[in-house]
Chain A
Amino acid sequence: MKNTELKFFIDTTVAISAITGRNKDAWILLESGKKRLISLFVNEYVIKEIRRTLKEFDFSQEKINYAIDYVSECCIIRKNVPKAKFSKYVIQDKNDIPILAGAVQESAILVTEDNALKNDAKKYLECVNPSETLKRLSI
């Protein structure tokens, strides 16, 4: 069941929904990355957002650190894309560009829980939610 030639870039929404158990498909996706059944990527921007979002939800620092370590075991962490490369992306929310650009740079499929980003990103790359990813992988 190895699909390591397929690359997936994980949006912060997916990492958080997996870590908090809000979407079991997101969790299975993360675990598949940990077991190297598929290749998962994030960038430093996503890691910073995970840390900040979990803090916003009042999780303890110990749990946040554990969650970050866990995500780091499941995904390959890339450097952020420089702002100079953002101009070619025209989407509704400019704040999503670092995620979109990260996925494009990796030639990966973007996985997100955010429908607005999903629709916007389709101009530039394939973008799916966790359930669609599992269907595609026949997991």
Chain B
Amino acid sequence: MKYLSETLFGKVTKAGTITIPKKLRMKYHIKVGDVVKYADVDDGIKIVPSELTSIPPKIKEMWDEADEKKISLKEIVEKVKKVRSQVYNEEYGT
């Protein structure tokens, strides 16, 4: 593992937020919306990318396919509504 030679700093805002320096975000592949984990260690706080945002390859394929098909959240809600009506009739009758 090659470490960054320079020391990077961040300023804590009123709300308690800090910005992870871009170099570190790039190095650890941290993207917008990702979750990071804070660990309380001897000399401070350790920030590690959370495994909660890792994606199995087959799921990633589905994400890519959904991108290609331009599936939107609105479309999902509408499609589920349509399917729900069919499934209700099959399971419970009209």
Contact = CB atoms under 8 A, between A and B. Distances in A.
A113 B92 contact: no
B84 A17 contact: no
Which interface class (under 10, 10 to 19, 20 to 34, 35 or more) fits B? 35 or more
Contacts of A111: none
A87 interface: no
Interface in A34-77: 35, 45, 48-49, 52-53, 56-59, 63, 66-67, 70
A20 B51 CA distance: 18
B80 A53 contact: yes
Interface stretch (B1-9, B14-22, B57-65): B57-65
Contact of B87 (A48, A57, A86): A48
A16 B80 contact: yes
Per DSSP, chain B at the interface is helix
Which interface class (under 10, 10 to 19, 20 to 34, 35 or more) fits A? 35 or more
Given A24-B33, A49-B84, A96-B84, A113 B63 contact: no
A120 B13 CA distance: 39
A95 B88 contact: yes
Contacts of B77: 13, 113-114
B83 A53 contact: yes
B88 A94 contact: yes
Given A52-B83, A63-B61, A22 B88 contact: no
Contact of A17 (B56, B60, B76, B87): B76
Interface of A: 11-13, 16-17, 19-25, 27-28, 31-32, 35, 45, 48-49, 52-53, 56-59, 63, 66-67, 70, 80, 83, 86, 93-96, 98, 113-114, 139
28 contacts: A13-B80, A16-B76, A17-B76, A20-B63, A20-B71, A21-B55, A21-B59, A22-B71, A24-B53, A25-B33, A27-B53, A28-B35, A28-B53, A35-B51, A45-B91, A48-B91, A53-B76, A53-B79, A59-B65, A63-B62, A80-B91, A83-B93, A86-B92, A93-B84, A96-B84, A113-B76, A114-B77, A139-B35
Interface of B: 33, 35, 51-56, 58-63, 65-67, 69, 71-73, 76-77, 79-88, 91-93
